[in-house]
Amino acid sequence: MIALLITCAGLACPAQSPAPSRPTEIHDRISPGSNIHNNRVALTLDACSGQFDEDLIVFLVRNRIPATIFATKKWLLKNPPGLAMLKAHLDLFDIEDHGENHIPAVIGAGRKVYGIPGEPDILHLRQEVLEGARAIERATGVPPHWYRGATAEYDQQASDEIRRMGYKIAGFSVNADAGATLNQGQIEERLRHVRGGDVIIAHMNKPQSQTAEGLSAGLIELLRRGLVFVRLDQVDLEDIPKQPTHHEPPHVE
């Protein structure tokens, strides 16, 4: 024991890694702030990998519905026409960081979320966050301030580090399309439960899904109910006190 202590004292021993925490989804709502009407909702759309759901973005542009887009570097590089359309409407779309390669924000060799491997160590997590941010700034000229990790689950070490790097973590309160796997009717049903303050998560990377159809019908209904869409660069979020996790992937690909 003594020998070990002496060896470490001279060699800057690596800090004992904390036991990995179970990853959790972060659930957020819009902070009420001075909005006494509580009629604001935020639509967030993830562009993980995959393709560009043009129908969905065209619908939002036509109806002047703002959204916060969480894009990976991978998606930006693979979808130049999609990026061009977003850039043509930066009055509507706030583009934020979804990482470089869509790697979940859990740290430790062999750790996975929904079967997707996480980061082997904290350096890889930093690279995932930073390279995602750089790609967005290069593409749009605007640096991101929000981060959402792949699968929207985080372990404590990862979420602490992301915040330490200066990014706010974007949770959600309504999972509208379950990783672009729901049909139109199911999406509309989920959107019927949206209330002021909710943060909706859905996807814009799977044009073959029914997300565009479901959101188009459901979001029009929310406008009719008098809800006002805001972007995350216009508001702050607050954590919803612990809820049972439903273990339904907000997104997997």
Instruction: Output 125 or 227, the one with its CB closest to Zn ion.
Output: 125
Question: How many other CB atoms sit within 10 Å of the CB of residue 127?
Answer: 15
Residues that bind Zn ion (CB under 5 A): 46, 48, 150, 251
CB of 191 to Zn ion, least distance (A): 20
Instruction: Output 231 or 251, the one with its CB closest to Zn ion.
Output: 251
In total, the chain counts a number of residues equal to 253
CB of 45 to Zn ion, least distance (A): 10
Per DSSP, the three-state class of 158 is helix
CB of 151 to Zn ion, least distance (A): 7
Instruction: Output 46 or 128, the one with its CB closest to Zn ion.
Output: 46
Q: Which run of H or E residues covers position 137?
A: helix 122-140
Nearest CA-CA partner of 253 in 111, 50, 113: 50
Question: How many other CB atoms sit within 10 Å of the CB of residue 20?
Answer: 16
CB of 1 to Zn ion, least distance (A): 46
Nearest CA-CA partner of 130 in 165, 104, 164: 165
Cα distance between residue 193 and residue 203, in whole Å: 18
Instruction: Output 227 or 237, the one with its CB closest to Zn ion.
Output: 237
